[in-house]
Structure 1
Amino acid sequence: MASQCSITSTASTIPYEETSFLNQEFVDELEIVHQLYFGNSELNDSSPNDVYFSEESDDNFDDDNDDENIHLDCSNDENVNQQPEIEPIHNSTPSRPCDREYVLQENFKSNTCGCTRLFNGKPCSEAIEWEKVINYRLSCLEKSKEELDLLIKVQLFHHRKTPDSKSSGNVRQRPHQTYFFAGFAVCRTFFAFVHGLHRKTIDSIAKSLDTDFLVPRTHGNKGMVPHNAVTLEQTQAVKHFIVTYGSQYGLPLPGRLPNYRSEKNVLLPSDKTKADIYQLYCTAFDSDNERFSYRKISLSTFKRIWLEQCPNIMIMKPSTDLCLKCQKHVYKISHGGNLSEEEKEMLLSCYYEHVKNVKTQRDYYRNICEISKINFLQLNTKERGQPPCSVDTQLHYSFDYAQQVLYPHYSQQVGPIFFKTPRKCQCFGISCEAPGTQIFYLIDEKYACVGKGENSVTSMLHHHFQFHAYGEKRVSLSMDNCSGQNKNNTVIGYGLWRVMRGLHDEIEFSMMEAGHTKFSPDWHFGLWKVRWRHSDVESMDDIAKTVQESSRKGYNIPQLVDDPDKPVVFSDWSTYLRKIFKPVPALKKYHHFRMTSERPGVVFVRQYANDPEVEVNLLKRNCDVIGLPETIDILGLDPARQWYLYEEISPLCRNSEFACPLPNVARPCKKVKFEK
């Protein structure tokens, strides 16, 4: 019994009225296109009695385990689809695109299957109608692997003799297969071609038929763990390495960038890629590979484990607060094709020196933070507001300004307020890395006459040591390189003034390299900004509430400058200290300033953490540090600003009593436009 597929064909369905007015040549071409896309031909079932074969004849039989019994006149039993031994047709002009399938069909038609014993000296490919062969082959190529397996198994099952069957009273030792197509006995090469498979694939399907019967084949490795699979122990080791690297080099910056809002994210510096970190993993593995019982993984596996096990550890995109020196070096190196080798080497040397200095300052910052944490755990009293210089320990603080906020502020902001300038609030943070807390100094716009310069920074530092410090004798302070706010003679002179007054035994100011100043205050500011976006604020008390609610465990602590219990007094420290101390020579090139009570009036400066200290005496003659500077008079908002808030902002507020009340001064004659 022969089993094969039938494909029904239909006549042309092109309407006569669509072709009656066209020329015959165009109609013929249209008919060809129609037949190409819609035409099918039927594989007519021919009677198996058309060709008779003897039961004992082996001309169309094949043993699965004996390739020498293949009854072909030639030995081209290789991949039918590839057929490397068949030369392509060069003298033919195909009427359709010469794709790979078309070339295979033409090559097989020209070179035939090679057998000559089944059809009286004619090969199978010439004895059977070629159009039926191609249509059947194309239908097989459209089937899925499982469908084609079942189709071939059904056909092989009806003409297969296995070792269980008997012939002439003898037990068969090997399976024996006869191949049929459209009712004709064919060779195995032709049978493989019409099904679009390799000869060895037909043998594999036949063996699967003997073992698994009429079910699709399954790969032998299905459900098995590969020998080179990553073990759980190895995955945990890679995860431990990534987590350790993140805790050591991660930047405290969650919530600051819009792309990283999650507070659990650990952001790595963008100077190293995952491939660079993988090289560090390989170095660590090679240095201690005797301790491990597993092999080293590849880069792709390292990235996959990172994504699966540590998705919260990410490499920060270098998109904000870019270092000017880094950008200049990168630009010159990338556009230095016409430079000489000496100039290129000099550029690379300068860039390497800059990166080295950045790493030195960052490592120094981490080191003093770790020392501060260890000392804090040994304190008997962990409450703020201790008397100055009362605890023999060393702690570390960091301070910086945040971007100002505008209030009234609503989570659902009305459109017109974006074109106005609401009331401003400055924020200055002093963070103590040991307990992980930060004091937020909230400064209303009425203190704008003080500004964001040296006097305001020094006044809030003085207030912090008076009301929020832990009474440490030695303190280290980190700040950024902004010369207008932090890195100036007033702040350095204030440190000398404190050690000379006995308020500290030793003070050190340290700064990281400009452009690489991400540190602890940025982390706290980021937490607050996440809360700020979803808050409704109409007064300074509401702003203080958002600071307090931004951290569930109380890491962010608000401090209003006009607090009735602990008010901040802004003083003219710059004028006062200028009378006592001389300016630091070449101030901007140094990153470390240390002063001690043993050498009053002397500051020890260093350019970088690994450089030797240089002693500089700043104390002027016949000067003392008795008394305090004069306070700065707070002028409040000028009349123009008060009337602007009342007339422009008040109609957009739900409650204008706090931010923009009715002024008690006369309206100015000329309108003033304010900038944000």
Structure 2
Amino acid sequence: MEQMEKKGDTRRGKIRECQRFRYEFDGYEICEKAWRFIHDISVWSYKSLKAHYKVNGIAPREHGLKGKKAHNAFSFEIIQHVVQFIMEYSNEFGLPMPAVPRGREGTPPVYLPSSITKDRVYSAYVESCEQTQPPLTHVGLTTFKNVWKDCVPHIQTISPKTDVCVKCEEFRNKIMFASSEDDKLLFTSQYNEHVMKAQKRREFYKNCVQKSFEEYESLPQQNKILGIHTPCSQDLFSVHYSFDYAQHFSLPHQSRQVGPLYFLSPMKVFCFGVCNEVCKEQINYLFTEADSIGQDGKKSAGPNNVISILHHHLSDHSLGEKQCSFHADNCGGQNKNKSVLHYMSWRTSTGLHDEIQIHFMEPGHTKCICDACFGKVRQLYRRSDVDTVDQLATLVNKSANINKSHVLQQDSESDHTWQWYQWDTYLSAYLKPLKGIRKYHHFRFNKDNPGKVYVKEVHDEIETEIALVRNCVAWPPPQGSFPEKLECGGLSDARHRQLHDTIQQHVRPPFRADFCTVCM
């Protein structure tokens, strides 16, 4: 409309009764027909626009039914029937949540399975209306979705997820396919109890971090630096660590997916993260399948890997604390096993810590700060081209300020690289397995009671003391003894040929030499 100018009064200064317009395009005056053709405006639209312009000038037009009810609008009874159908459908197939998510207000959500879409619910609604005698008038799909959004927004379709809790899924299926209302109420009560237990452990994890943060803030600035410190050199009693494995990375990786590479098995790079939340630093330990304990990446996530990295981290990236606590997930092969517990007992018994606590979250509800840091790395990884381990390490450092990388260097003479050790065999000669380890979630080790562990199923219950030292064995081990060093497993001939013949060609030419060095 800015190129359609209304001419003013007549030459004699009178108000022009038959108004005239001047049309311009690109600084040139053109006719009305050409102006309508350029802006793709029909005759009737043009007349309506001109009539509005004569009366209101340059102002947005409003629909004539604004604020009024249309003559063809659906009645209140029809809309009420739509809402009632959606609620009954959710009662039959939905999973009610015990409470509103944190930070929100309103009705607790009800989740429908991810396979049930709004279109599918609408089809069931139309079918029910047609089968009723006499048939009921049904609304269209757009109106159906608008009513759903405006009237029952708490009924939602759950998004597909991975790594979900097994118990939660079992309870969801039991609630969904319950044959009676009593069974449905019983399963819902059990599901709520399970969720509340997971929430309590989550709150305990947050309290541990908060307590550690408050203690850290009271330190002088020169004592807040992570590094190599004399064990038990600072009066710190609440330092908190979290550790976990990330999903492995593949090399080479390209942001634009190369078709043949999708069907191959690129070089795997494993990542183990140890995070000190209050210091806002997570060390991500990177090693390839050639640097793993087992051949071709086997035994890459066993207890010897976890303990070797934890020992290096507590030696080179600590605050010299006297007491500390750990949080990890419930994976038995990696974290929650006899070897990790034996190592914690070894640290307190040899004077490296006065006390250590290790806590494991509810299975399926184990997300922690490590997963958030891994997510930042994964976001940048998807958008980047990575050919070598050094490039991946640089990417980890760029992903977030909290993320730091540490690459295993086999031939390095530096004291700051870590080594693999046979911790499980070394400690098993002195300590015996803990019976019923799976049912306990909280473990405490103290220097005053070497070789003993204090266990709890719930953090607010009474501890149970259990002795771990084997009969007729002196504990702790003699001073200066240490587990045997393990060499990296390397690559088999078949795997080496596969990487050289089928994977190397997808590495960008300037970096193929570095990639071949890793594959040796």
Q: Is 1:633 aligned to residue 487 of structure 2?
A: yes
> How far apart are the structure 1 equivalents of 2:339 and 2:276?
22
Structure-to-structure mapping, 1:156-195, within 5 angstroms: none
C-alpha contact (below 8 Å) 1:509/1:592 kept by paired residues: yes
> Over residues 76-106 of structure 1, what are the superposed CA-to-partner deviations in whole Å (9 max), with x where a residue is unaligned?
xxxxxxxxxxxxxxxxxxxxxxxxxxxxxxx
Moved more, 615-624 or 640-649: 615-624
> How far apart are the structure 2 equivalents of 1:532 and 1:437?
19
Equivalence for 1:169: none
Following TM superposition, by how much is the alpha carbon of 1:275 offset from its aligned partner in structure 2, in angstroms? Answer: 11
Equivalence for 1:390: 233
Equivalence for 1:404: 248
C-alpha contact (below 8 Å) 1:396/1:477 kept by paired residues: yes
Amino acid at match of 1:546: L
Partner secondary structure for residue 400 of structure 1? strand
Q: Is 1:542 aligned to residue 374 of structure 2?
A: no
Say if 1:438 and 1:483 are closer, same or farther in 2 by CA, change over 3 A. same
> How far apart are the structure 2 equivalents of 1:369 and 1:527?
21
> How far apart are the structure 2 equivalents of 1:384 and 1:662?
30
Following TM superposition, by how much is the alpha carbon of 1:273 offset from its aligned partner in structure 2, in angstroms? Answer: 4.4
Following TM superposition, by how much is the alpha carbon of 1:451 offset from its aligned partner in structure 2, in angstroms? Answer: 2.1
Gaps of 5+ in 2: 1-43, 52-61, 68-96, 109-148
> How far apart are the structure 1 equivalents of 2:172 and 2:103?
18
Equivalence for 1:602: 452
The correspondence for 2:407, drawn from 548, 560, 573, is 560
Q: Is 1:324 aligned to residue 166 of structure 2?
A: yes
Partner secondary structure for residue 421 of structure 2? coil
C-alpha contact (below 8 Å) 1:408/1:539 kept by paired residues: yes
Following TM superposition, by how much is the alpha carbon of 1:658 offset from its aligned partner in structure 2, in angstroms? Answer: 2.1
Equivalence for 2:505: 651
Moved more, 626-635 or 465-474: 626-635
Say if 1:406 and 1:350 are closer, same or farther in 2 by CA, change over 3 A. same
Say if 1:418 and 1:506 are closer, same or farther in 2 by CA, change over 3 A. same
Say if 1:461 and 1:333 are closer, same or farther in 2 by CA, change over 3 A. same
The correspondence for 1:575, drawn from 414, 418, 425, is 425
Q: Is 1:592 aligned to residue 442 of structure 2?
A: yes
> How far apart are the structure 2 equivalents of 1:368 and 1:662?
40
> Over residues 496-541 of structure 1, what are the superposed CA-to-partner deviations in whole Å (9 max), with x where a residue is unaligned?
0000010011101101100011110001001111111122222211
**Number of positions where the alignment pairs a residue of Structure 1 with one of Structure 2:** 373
Gaps of 5+ in 1: 1-142, 151-215, 222-269, 282-302, 308-314, 665-676
Structure-to-structure mapping, 1:302-313, within 5 angstroms: none
The correspondence for 1:459, drawn from 299, 308, 312, is 308
> Over residues 535-590 of structure 1, what are the superposed CA-to-partner deviations in whole Å (9 max), with x where a residue is unaligned?
22222111110011112xx3101011217331111101110111111111100011
Under a length normalisation based on structure 2, what TM-score does the superposition of the two structures give? 0.66
Equivalence for 1:361: 201
Moved more, 352-361 or 500-509: 352-361
> How far apart are the structure 2 equivalents of 1:275 and 1:608?
23
| Bigger radius of gyration among the two | 1
Cα RMSD of the aligned pairs, angstroms, is 3.3
Q: Is 1:443 aligned to residue 293 of structure 2?
A: no
Say if 1:559 and 1:663 are closer, same or farther in 2 by CA, change over 3 A. closer
Q: Is 1:423 aligned to residue 423 of structure 2?
A: no
> How far apart are the structure 1 equivalents of 2:367 and 2:196?
17
Following TM superposition, by how much is the alpha carbon of 1:595 offset from its aligned partner in structure 2, in angstroms? Answer: 0.7
> How far apart are the structure 2 equivalents of 1:271 and 1:651?
54
The correspondence for 1:618, drawn from 468, 488, 506, is 468
Structure-to-structure mapping, 1:238-253, within 5 angstroms: none
Q: Is 1:481 aligned to residue 330 of structure 2?
A: yes
Following TM superposition, by how much is the alpha carbon of 1:402 offset from its aligned partner in structure 2, in angstroms? Answer: 0.3
Following TM superposition, by how much is the alpha carbon of 1:370 offset from its aligned partner in structure 2, in angstroms? Answer: 0.5
Structure-to-structure mapping, 1:190-205, within 5 angstroms: none
> How far apart are the structure 2 equivalents of 1:539 and 1:528?
16
C-alpha contact (below 8 Å) 1:646/1:661 kept by paired residues: no
Structure-to-structure mapping, 1:243-322, within 5 angstroms: 272-273=99-100, 277-279=104-106, 317=159, 319-322=161-164
Tell which has more relative contact order, 1 or 2 (C-alpha 8 A, sep 6+): 2
Amino acid at match of 2:458: Y
Identity of aligned residues (%): 36
> Over residues 45-66 of structure 1, what are the superposed CA-to-partner deviations in whole Å (9 max), with x where a residue is unaligned?
xxxxxxxxxxxxxxxxxxxxxx
Following TM superposition, by how much is the alpha carbon of 1:279 offset from its aligned partner in structure 2, in angstroms? Answer: 4.7
Following TM superposition, by how much is the alpha carbon of 1:410 offset from its aligned partner in structure 2, in angstroms? Answer: 2.3
Under a length normalisation based on structure 1, what TM-score does the superposition of the two structures give? 0.51
Following TM superposition, by how much is the alpha carbon of 1:271 offset from its aligned partner in structure 2, in angstroms? Answer: 6.6
Amino acid at match of 1:562: Q
